[in-house]
Amino acid sequence: MQINSNSFYDTSINYSIKLNDKEELVFEDDKLRTPEKKTESEKLQAKEEEEKAKENEKSSLNKLSTEEKQIVSELQARDSEVRAHEAAHQSGGASTGAASYTYQKGPDGKMYAIGGEVPISMKSGSTPQETIANAQAVIASALAPADPSGQDQAVAASAMMMITKAQQQLAQENQKKLEGEAVYKNEANAGNNSNTSETPALEQIDISA
């Protein structure tokens, strides 16, 4: 969404993370590719271009009004905050995708991130224990930023509900296991009792000559 710099102060920032039903793709670096080695002249040229870009940036900032400089300063701070927020989500432990950002063009002509989101895969496991582990990783990712948003907290709450259900399922399975063991024990005891018989006393016979 494109927002005018004049309306920056009225812009509300909403950090969010999306839940995916599908597995997230994992992109790996191509091990066959090797970084290109730059010559000294190329390194020097790159350094000169970087310094020139910095000078142009300073020059463009000097042309801005005091109010525009203030807007640029706040946009820069917001950009850093947003990127740090989304990076925290990705380092939380859950399966996450690439971060996407909402940008705003500043008075200096640059684009600054003013909002972002990270897709997180929240899925049930093949066992209650696996489901609990997956949900705990989602909670860690959702609440990883220093300032979790309302959406982040809602995602964590959903994951907590998943943990509660998995714990209930685990408790039921344990209860059934205990009941099954008790039934087996009772049946075994009953079988042992039915197989027990009294040995008849030997009949004494008097033999007289």
Domain-embedded: residue 207: no
pLDDT of residue 55: 67
Domain-embedded: residue 185: yes
User: What total number of domains does the chain contain?
Assistant: 1
Domain-embedded: residue 208: no
Q: Is the dihedral of CA 141, 146, 148, 149 positive or negative?
A: negative
Domain-embedded: residue 58: yes
Q: What is the pLDDT of residues 105-136, one digit of tens each?
A: 999 999 999 999 999 888 888 899 999 999 99
Tell me the residue range of the domain where 124 lies.
Answer: 5-24+40-192
Which among 21, 13, 18 is positioned nearest to 117, based on CA atoms?
18
pLDDT of residue 192: 63
Domain-embedded: residue 65: yes
pLDDT of residue 68: 93
Question: pTM higher than 0.85, yes or no?
Answer: no
Domain-embedded: residue 100: yes
DSSP-derived 3-state class of residue 146: coil
Q: Which residues contact 69 (CB under 8 A, 6 or more apart)?
A: 61
Domain-embedded: residue 29: no
